[in-house]
Structure 1
Amino acid sequence: MSPLHDTPILGMVARLQVQVPTEYGNDANFWTEWPSGLVDVSRTTHIPSVSDGAQAETPPLTEGLVDIPVDGERTVRVKKESTALVVVDMQNFFLHPELRDHPTGLKCVDPLMKIIPPLRDLGIKILWVNWGLTDHELRTIPPSLVRGFMKNGRGGFGSELPGGFGRLLMRDARNSELYEPLQAEWLKGKNAGTDFWIHKNRISGLWGYQSSLDLFLQENGITTLLFSGVNADQCVAGTLVDAYFRGYDCILVEDCTATTSPEGGLANVVYNAGNSYGFVTDSKRLAAL
């Protein structure tokens, strides 16, 4: 007989739907899950008390909330003003054909372009989370990370790239700009006040104490994050997992996420996003909201 604690931890994709309304968390920070398949992460309505033998009914969708279909025959209800799309590292350095061969990353551009306008219309913020180093930060990056961005002991952070792309992943360099047409889309959102550019200086955008991303999320009351970008099993996963550790609600947008890693890299991230860290959806379901 296997020990009780060997029972696998099942996420929302694998586990059966609840039989009775179930609440997780505490009075201030909570989710509710319903037999209908609804998982309400808006933190707006507790499960009401009912008489013996009765069961509370699934709450209706109200103004300010939106239901997002996800894998596992679930629907996640979020608060629009507390939700953001996090777009990780869709930059020239990772996507531009003159710098890198990343066909799966380029395939993410079109679905991203299709979901960003409707998400903006809902009042969901768009956060462009990108590498953007300063000369001071070059002196503080750990050697393991420095080595990872060098080839044969050459190049690396801050080195000059050919073709007018500027210094590698430094702020305001051409290689650090978003890959077109995303750069134009970001500028459109910036001018409209819906989009925000957030620099990062590690694989994860949420590493350490008081990162720029974490401060922005806290100051703006954001609790639910939709994740997209490259590379899935590196910077996207690093940021998503750190968000999960900090208590944010995590939803991976599968067809807006890619990696250069061998087969299995993306699948592992998708599996864990839906089975451990939160939920998985795609651009078609988001565009239809």
Structure 2
Amino acid sequence: MSNTEILSTLKEIADPKHSALIIIDAQHDFCSEKGAMAQRFGFDMKEIREAVPRLNKLIEVCREAGIFVVWVREIFSDKRMHSNQKSIWGGGDDIWLIPEGGKGTDWYEGMIKPLDSEPVVTKWQYDAFQGTDLERLLQANGIKTLLMTGFTTNVCVESTARHGYEKGYYIVLASDCSGTPTPAEHEAAVFNIQTYYGKAAKSAELMELWQKGSMKKVA
């Protein structure tokens, strides 16, 4: 994306007319206590579970504001994985995280579901631009800004935000609508994104911008 106009304020950058809500990997294996991440590593998913209702609310408000909503899900497929991936996540029948055809790739049960009109992008790597049609969708809809949400903040959300920045998109992380198993991971990712790649804001601040103060009481 190339653009000569320079946007500076959050209001300008997060204008619904040119923003897309990007929902990264709100899936069973990344969010559920019964998912692979929690089961394999013993992670407490409390931080992620608490972010889900806020993300659901943000999705609803984005729909009302006419913001383009894009869902992204990750699948590990043996035929698409590199050898370095397989060394971490397993290969063939031993893939233990988000394996193709497994329950781990399903949307987390606490999430509202995509509307038929909302595109679902399947990615095979951390980065939602790599090997997908995400950029084509964004260009077709005149998008300048990516409102980043989802799981986990420091891996797939940050990887996509970095690539989006390098492609020329403005980046805004909805910091309370993304999450990681530990606060330290999340805080590090928020710092990186708001320092080097764009802005970070709470969902209430974004919704207040769009609804002219009607969301002031949202926690």
TM-score class normalised by the smaller sequence: 0.7 to 0.9
Q: Deviations over 1:196-246 (max 9, x none)?
A: 2110000111125xx221221122221210001111111111111010111
Compute the RMSD of aligned alpha carbons. Answer: 2.5
| Matched AA of 1:121 | E
* Alpha-carbon distance between aligned partners in 2 of 1:237 and 1:78, rounded to the nearest angstrom: 18
| Matched AA of 1:258 | G
* 2:71 matches 1:128: yes
DSSP-derived class of the 1:285 partner:
helix
| Matched AA of 2:67 | I
Match of 2:55 among 94, 112, 132: 112
Aligned to 2:189: 269
| Matched AA of 1:155 | D
Q: Deviations over 1:4-59 (max 9, x none)?
A: xxxxxxxxxxxxxxxxxxxxxx8x532144xxxxx2xxxxxxxxxxxxxxxxxxxx
* Alpha-carbon distance between aligned partners in 2 of 1:264 and 1:76, rounded to the nearest angstrom: 30
Q: Which ranges of 4 or more aligned residues in structure 1 deviate by more than 6 Å?
A: none
Length-normalised TM-score, structure 2: 0.81
| Matched AA of 1:126 | V
Rg (Cα) greater in structure? 1
Distance 1:220 1:154, change over 3 A: same
Aligned to 1:186: 113
* Alpha-carbon distance between aligned partners in 2 of 1:32 and 1:128, rounded to the nearest angstrom: 25
DSSP-derived class of the 2:119 partner:
strand
* 2:8 matches 1:29: no
Length-normalised TM-score, structure 1: 0.63
DSSP-derived class of the 1:117 partner:
helix
Aligned to 1:83: 19
Contact residue 232 and residue 258 of structure 1 kept, 8 A: yes
Quote the offset at 1:138 in angstroms: 2.1
* Alpha-carbon distance between aligned partners in 1 of 2:107 and 2:194, rounded to the nearest angstrom: 28
Question: Which consecutive residues of structure 2, in runs of 5 or more, have no partner in the other structure?
Answer: 39-43, 211-219
| Matched AA of 2:193 | A
Question: Which consecutive residues of structure 1, in runs of 5 or more, have no partner in the other structure?
Answer: 1-25, 34-38, 40-67, 69-74, 159-167
Contact residue 138 and residue 157 of structure 1 kept, 8 A: no
Contact residue 157 and residue 170 of structure 1 kept, 8 A: no
Quote the offset at 1:77 in angstroms: 4.1
Q: Deviations over 1:112-160 (max 9, x none)?
A: 1111111111110111111135xxx522311111222239x982168xx
Quote the offset at 1:96 in angstroms: 1.8
Aligned to 1:242: 163
Number of aligned residue pairs: give it: 201
* Alpha-carbon distance between aligned partners in 1 of 2:65 and 2:4, rounded to the nearest angstrom: 23
Aligned to 1:174: 103
Alignment of 1:1-289 (within 5 A): 28-33=3-8, 39=9, 68=10, 75-99=11-35, 100=38, 101-133=44-76, 137-150=77-90, 155-156=94-95, 168-170=98-100, 173-182=102-111, 185-187=112-114, 189-190=115-116, 193=117, 195-207=118-130, 211-261=132-182, 263-288=183-208, 289=210
Higher strand share: 1
Contact residue 200 and residue 212 of structure 1 kept, 8 A: no
Aligned to 1:63: none
* Alpha-carbon distance between aligned partners in 2 of 1:129 and 1:252, rounded to the nearest angstrom: 15
* Alpha-carbon distance between aligned partners in 2 of 1:260 and 1:150, rounded to the nearest angstrom: 21
Distance 1:103 1:154, change over 3 A: farther
Higher helix share: 2
